[in-house]
């Protein structure tokens, strides 16, 4: 009995020992948890906050851009425009403080920090790769050396030792003054012989006498007819002014075409509110050095409804085109565009109408076959009716106080019925 009890206790001990599993790792390694220092945790939180702020800032910027680009409704008329703009400015200041706080966090030197450990692992990996690459290059350079050809050696030597150009001797031409004088003379001749715009004289039956008087007074001119006008081309500016003054003295009907370089520059400004006074824009542009002729507000062609666009006419001065560089007027962001005029778009040739033509009915208002004799006949019949029914005259006088056609017809019917009753009596 004692022997069997000893055997059972020995088996029990062996089973308990086999249940203890040893993985060969130290206890500190098994129980160690991930650790991060406070600086690294704060750096991660600030990076996440900046990402959220950037997302919100982009949303506000897109919303403000859509509101400002609307050409029919001013941006200030949107209910949430001011709130978005205020939030955008506040968010910019908050992001500046957040980025400053992120930059002020010191570098992590804690060896137990998981962020620092990952950084060290990346650095060691990069260093080992660099060492392996250098070792491989050294083996290849020692064992597989291939001498370069003499042609490549000469080419490399030329690149390393470029030839220094010899110093140039400066020479002067004593006759260069004459060439400058000739160039100035050619420029003056070109300016004098430039083509002048034509003077458009209204065509009449007495055009021969008119051109003869111009020829006797101003000399030879080139005359061309087109579109009920005679275009008079002069040879120089003096003859141009002479012909113009002669036509004015004789009282002839004519008009002038301004040269392209003398025509005013027309631009359209967009982005200002509909209630913005055009005179403020004119005064602002005049103060900064532009020669402004006038500033007018554009309107729709059919309804004459004012639009949030201003047309600016500028004298064609050397700095006139600098107006496209202006980005703000009275502290409001704006943009300039070239004025293209009002061009009515009609249907192209061969295009079918989008709406079908209405069928011809008996009540159509087509007056193409109108006969004036029928009008006189209708007036005579109306005169006879008014003599027989005097109440119609009173009804016609009272019709001016009525605005609705139904009320006017009611007065006529009442007058006719009363006249019929009087005639029966």
pLDDT for 354: 45
pLDDT for 316: 83
Q: Is 31 helix (H, G, I), strand (E, B) or coil?
A: helix
Going by pLDDT thresholds of 50, 70 and 90, the confidence category of residue 363 is: very low
Rounded to the nearest 10 degrees, the angle between the axes of helix 372-388 and helix 391-398 is 110
Q: Is 391 helix (H, G, I), strand (E, B) or coil?
A: helix
Average pLDDT of the chain to the nearest whole number: 75
**What mean pLDDT do residues 349-358 have?**
47
pLDDT for 368: 42
Neighbours of 256 (CB within 10 A): 12
Q: Is the pLDDT of residue 374 over 50?
A: yes
Q: Which two tokens stand for residue 8?
A: 């059972």
d(CA 268, CA 335) in angstroms, rounded, equals 8
What length does the chain have?
Answer: 425
pLDDT for 24: 45
pLDDT for 135: 62
Are the beta carbons of 84 and 63 closer than 8 angstroms?
yes
pLDDT for 390: 74
d(CA 170, CA 349) in angstroms, rounded, equals 70
The b-or-e profile of 126-145 (16+ CB within 10 A means b, else e) is eeeeeeeeeeeeeeeeeeee
d(CA 242, CA 251) in angstroms, rounded, equals 14
**What mean pLDDT do residues 256-264 have?**
74
Please write down the long-range contacts of 30-34, taking CB distance under 8 Å and 24 or more positions apart: 34/114
Q: Name the one residue in this structure whose structure tokens are 């205020």.
A: 86
Listed ranges 123-137, 333-347, 359-373; the one with the highest mean pLDDT:
333-347
Please write down the long-range contacts of 86-91, taking CB distance under 8 Å and 24 or more positions apart: 87/60, 88/57, 88/60, 88/61, 88/64, 91/53, 91/56, 91/57, 91/60
Question: In degrees to the nearest 10, what's the CA dihedral of 138, 139, 141, 145?
Answer: 170
125: which residues sit within 8 A by CB, 6+ positions away? none
Q: Is the pLDDT of residue 204 over 70?
A: yes
**For residue 375, how far is the Cα from the chain centroid?**
58
Better-scored residue on pLDDT, 192 or 155: 155
**What mean pLDDT do residues 344-354 have?**
48
Better-scored residue on pLDDT, 354 or 7: 7
Q: Is 150 helix (H, G, I), strand (E, B) or coil?
A: helix
Angle at 167 between CA 165 and CA 173, to 5 degrees: 130
d(CA 425, CA 406) in angstroms, rounded, equals 29
pLDDT for 171: 66
Better-scored residue on pLDDT, 86 or 20: 86
Q: Is the pLDDT of residue 226 over 50?
A: yes
> What would the pLDDT profile of 39-48 be if each residue is shown by its tens digit?
888 888 888 9
Strand segments (E) across 182-248: 199-202, 222-226, 229-233
d(CA 17, CA 309) in angstroms, rounded, equals 94
Going by pLDDT thresholds of 50, 70 and 90, the confidence category of residue 127 is: confident
**What mean pLDDT do residues 14-21 have?**
52
Are the beta carbons of 323 and 314 closer than 8 angstroms?
yes
Nearest of 323, 307, 343 to residue 266 by alpha carbon: 323
Better-scored residue on pLDDT, 401 or 342: 401
> What would the pLDDT profile of 174-185 be if each residue is shown by its tens digit?
666 556 656 666
End-to-end CA distance of the chain: 156
Better-scored residue on pLDDT, 118 or 282: 282
Going by pLDDT thresholds of 50, 70 and 90, the confidence category of residue 26 is: very low
Please write down the long-range contacts of 257-263, taking CB distance under 8 Å and 24 or more positions apart: 257/197, 257/198, 257/200, 258/197, 259/197, 261/316, 262/316, 263/316
Neighbours of 395 (CB within 10 A): 19
Please write down the long-range contacts of 176-181, taking CB distance under 8 Å and 24 or more positions apart: none
Q: Which two tokens stand for residue 318?
A: 């050397």
216: which residues sit within 8 A by CB, 6+ positions away? none
Q: Is the pLDDT of residue 22 over 80?
A: no
pLDDT for 125: 72
Residue 416: DSSP 8-state: H
> What would the pLDDT profile of 90-123 be if each residue is shown by its tens digit?
999 999 888 888 888 887 777 778 776 666 666 6
pLDDT for 194: 57
Q: What is the pTM of this model?
A: 0.31
């Amino acid at each position: 009995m004692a022997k069997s009890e000893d055997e059972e206790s020995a088996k029990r001990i062996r089973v308990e020992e086999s249940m203890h599993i040893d993985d060969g790792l130290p206890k500190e390694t098994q129980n160690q948890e991930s650790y991060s220092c406070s600086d690294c945790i704060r750096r991660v939180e600030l990076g996440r906050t900046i990402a959220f702020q950037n997302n919100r800032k982009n949303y506000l910027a897109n919303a403000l851009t859509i509101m400002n680009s609307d050409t029919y409704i001013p941006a200030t008329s949107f209910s949430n425009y001011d709130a978005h703009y205020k939030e955008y400015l506040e968010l910019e200041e908050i992001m500046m403080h957040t980025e400053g706080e992120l930059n002020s966090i010191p570098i992590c030197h804690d060896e137990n920090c998981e962020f620092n450990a990952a950084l060290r692992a990346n650095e060691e990996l990069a260093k080992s790769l660099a060492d392996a690459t250098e070792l491989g290059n050294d083996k290849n350079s020692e064992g597989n050396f291939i001498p370069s050809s003499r042609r490549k050696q000469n080419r490399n030597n030329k690149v390393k030792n470029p030839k220094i150009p010899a110093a140039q001797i400066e020479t002067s031409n004593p006759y260069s003054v004459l060439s400058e004088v000739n160039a100035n003379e050619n420029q003056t001749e070109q300016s004098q012989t430039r083509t002048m715009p034509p003077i458009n004289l209204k065509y009449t039956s007495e055009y021969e006498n008119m051109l003869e008087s111009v020829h006797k007074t101003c000399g030879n001119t080139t005359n061309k007819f087109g579109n009920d006008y005679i275009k008079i081309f002069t040879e120089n500016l003096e003859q141009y002014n002479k012909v113009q003054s002669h036509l004015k003295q004789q009282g002839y009907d004519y008009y002038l075409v301004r040269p392209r370089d003398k025509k005013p520059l027309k631009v359209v400004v967009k982005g200002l509110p509909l209630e913005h006074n055009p005179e403020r824009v004119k005064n602002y542009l005049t103060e900064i050095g532009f020669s402004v002729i006038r500033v007018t507000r554009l309107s729709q062609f059919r309804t004459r409804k004012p639009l949030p666009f201003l047309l600016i006419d500028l004298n064609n001065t050397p700095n006139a085109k600098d107006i496209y560089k202006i980005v703000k007027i009275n502290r409001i962001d704006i943009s300039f565009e070239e004025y293209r005029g009002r061009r009515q778009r009609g249907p192209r040739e061969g295009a079918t109408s989008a709406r079908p033509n209405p069928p011809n009915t008996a009540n159509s208002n087509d007056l193409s076959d109108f006969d004036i004799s029928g009008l006189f006949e209708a007036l005579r019949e109306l005169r006879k009716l008014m003599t027989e029914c005097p109440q119609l005259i009173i009804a016609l006088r009272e019709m001016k106080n009525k605005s609705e056609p139904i009320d006017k017809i009611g007065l006529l019917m009442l007058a006719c019925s009363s006249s019929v009753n009087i005639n029966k009596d």
